[in-house]
Amino acid sequence: MNFRKFSIFLILFLALLTCGNTSSAQFRDLKMEGAGFSANTSSGQMDIKNAGTDGNQKLFSVVGKSQILKFDQNITRVSLSNSDIADVVVLSPRQIIVNGKKPGSVTLIFWGSSTTPVFYNLVVQQDADAFVQAVNYVAPNEDIAILFNDSGAVLSGHVSSANVKDKIKNLAKAYEVNLLDLSESPSKQVLLEVKVIEMSKNFSRVITSNIVANNLSIPFDPSAFAGVLPNGLNMLQLKDGINYLFTTNNGKLGAQFGATDKKGNIKILAEPKLLAADGERASFNVGNEIPFPTGINDRGMVAYDFKNTGVLLNFTPKIMEQSGRIRLKLSPEISEVDKSLGMVTSTGQLSVPGFRVRKADTTVELNDGDTLVIAGLINANSTRNKTQTPFLGDIPILGALFRSSEDTKNDDEVIIFITPHIVEPNVQARSGQRI
Q: What does the alpha-carbon distance between residue 58 and residue 319 come to, in Å, rounded to a whole number?
A: 45
Q: What does the alpha-carbon distance between residue 206 and residue 393 come to, in Å, rounded to a whole number?
A: 17
- CATH topology for the 45-125 domain: Immunoglobulin-like (2.60.40)
Structural contact between residues 106 and 124, judged by C-beta atoms closer than 8 angstroms:
yes
Q: Give me the pLDDT at residue 360, please.
A: 84
Q: Where are the domains of the chain?
A: 45-125, 128-184, 187-427
For residues 86 and 260, the model is more confident at 86
pLDDT digits (tens, 9 = 90+) for 9-63: 444 444 444 443 333 223 333 333 332 333 333 344 444 444 444 556 778 888 8
pLDDT digits (tens, 9 = 90+) for 283-294: 888 888 888 787
For residues 185 and 254, the model is more confident at 185
Q: Give me the pLDDT at residue 316, please.
A: 92
Q: Give me the pLDDT at residue 373, please.
A: 86
- Per-range mean pLDDT, top range of 188-192, 260-264, 321-325: 188-192
Structural contact between residues 82 and 63, judged by C-beta atoms closer than 8 angstroms:
no
Structural contact between residues 287 and 307, judged by C-beta atoms closer than 8 angstroms:
no
17, containing H or E segment: helix 2-20
Q: pTM for the full model?
A: 0.47
> In whole angstroms, how large is the CA radius of gyration of the chain?
43
Whether the pLDDT of residue 314 is over 80: the answer is yes
Structural contact between residues 179 and 172, judged by C-beta atoms closer than 8 angstroms:
yes
Selecting from 3.30.1340.30, 1.10.8.10, 2.60.40.2300, 3.40.640.10, what CATH number does the domain 128-184 have? 3.30.1340.30
